Amino acid sequence: MVERLRRPPAAPAEAPVSDNGERVHGQFPRVRLRRNRRDAWTRRLVAEHRLGVDDLIWPLFVHEGGGPVPVASMPGVERLSLALAVEAAREAADLGIPLLAIFPQIEQALKRPDGSEAIAPNNLVCRAVAAIKRAVPGIGVLCDVALDPFTDHGHDGVIRQGYVANDETVAILCRQAVLQAEAGCDVIAPSDMMDGRVGRVRDALDAAGFEAVRIMSYAAKYASAFFGPFRDAIGSKTNLGLADKKTYQMDPANSDEALREVALDLAEGADMVMVKPGMPYLDIVARVKQRFAMPTFAYQVSGEYAMMKGAALNGWLDHDRVVLETLLAFKRAGADGVLTYFARDAAKLLAKG
């Protein structure tokens, strides 16, 4: 009905006045941005960004145990047995989620100063990857390359004279990456922030015949307090104790430095780059995407999940709406996809439309 869009006939008697007090010609205001927002169909038509299931990467925690064990600081997230991880992979594939990320909770007894379990054949990560790829070959699997789940001090590398030794750690990471590729991992994600590791890992993968295995580097990864619940989940929190990772992860004060990190990782052969954490670092996502125009991902980390879940469980936030809003915000900032513990929830919501 046309009348629906016509203003009521009672037009103002005097000439219209603009917000800043000037007289204007014709109807005020001529430009009304609210017109395009007026109906659902125009809002859909002019939407600049869209979130789809193809944008989601789902991190899963695995452990040796039989049953699922809840992560206290991440309500709704559980450490899964291998059988349950396979089930989750099936569900993810059915929902259309393209990629899973596997994180292990290693038994304390297997943790060593040099993280040797990281390069032990058939370790928990390898078995999880192999089981998932066997049962659900069509889904992508990503593995972190870093030693923190495997070290008794909780750092991402080996420690020499009180400092995480860069080059020695990189040599171990190369072996870890090849081992994971042998297990069937599709995407190697160095999350350790050692210098020069992407190039060395690329060379090691190629030398072992894995030139098709992709590298998604945690290129701009910050020394963030938002990783707390993750460290809880993989059981590295007590190992790390009061220590921090500031000698290798980036200072939250820095932004230009993130561009240098990304430039180096790309030059060393990274296929995709990641910014982490997510929401407080959308400015970094935007700068990285604008500068390099490369596949760029963001990690909505454990602390962001905990924050949103906690508020939603208290009835302070609308869970489904904040999930979709925050994920869309990553897309708007320039991310091609997001690692998020909400991936399954979001995929279901998106399927509902």
Q: Which residues are catalytic?
A: 221, 276
CA separation for the pair 180, 210 (Å, rounded): 11
Q: Is-contact 65 25, C-beta < 8 A?
A: no
Stretch that binds ligand PBG, among 37-45, 140-148, 196-204, 322-330 (CB under 6 A): 140-148
Q: How many CB atoms lie within 10 A of CB 88?
A: 21
As measured in angstroms, the least distance from the Cβ of 198 to ligand PBG is 15
Question: Is 146 a binder of ligand PBG (CB under 6 A)?
Answer: yes
As measured in angstroms, the least distance from the Cβ of 88 to ligand PBG is 17
Burial of 352 by CB count in 10 Å (0-12 exposed, 13-18 middle, 19+ buried)? Answer: exposed
- Write the DSSP string, 140-176: EEEEEE-STTTBTT--SS-EETTEE-HHHHHHHHHHH
Give the largest CA-CA distance in the chain. Answer: 84
Question: Is 227 a binder of ligand PBG (CB under 6 A)?
Answer: yes
Question: Is 144 a binder of ligand PBG (CB under 6 A)?
Answer: yes
Residues 299-338 that bind ligand PBG (CB under 6 A): 301-302
Please report, to the nearest 10 degrees, the dihedral formed by the alpha carbons of residues 173, 289, 266, 100 taken in order: 40
Site string for ligand PBG, 96-115 (x = CB under 6 A): --------------------
DSSP 222: B
As measured in angstroms, the least distance from the Cβ of 5 to ligand PBG is 48
Q: How many CB atoms lie within 10 A of CB 238?
A: 10
Stretch that binds ligand PBG, among 144-152, 205-213, 265-273, 288-296 (CB under 6 A): 144-152
Question: Is 342 a binder of ligand PBG (CB under 6 A)?
Answer: no
Size of the site for ligand PBG (CB under 6 A): 11
Question: Is 248 a binder of ligand PBG (CB under 6 A)?
Answer: no
CA separation for the pair 162, 336 (Å, rounded): 38
Helical ranges in 121-275 per DSSP H = 124-135, 166-183, 197-207, 228-233, 237-240, 256-267
As measured in angstroms, the least distance from the Cβ of 243 to ligand PBG is 11
Give the residue with the Cβ less far from ligand PBG, 144 or 345.
Answer: 144
Stretch that binds ligand PBG, among 143-151, 209-217, 324-332, 342-350 (CB under 6 A): 143-151
**Binding residues for ligand PBG (CB under 6 A):** 144, 146, 148, 156, 191, 227, 230-231, 245, 301-302
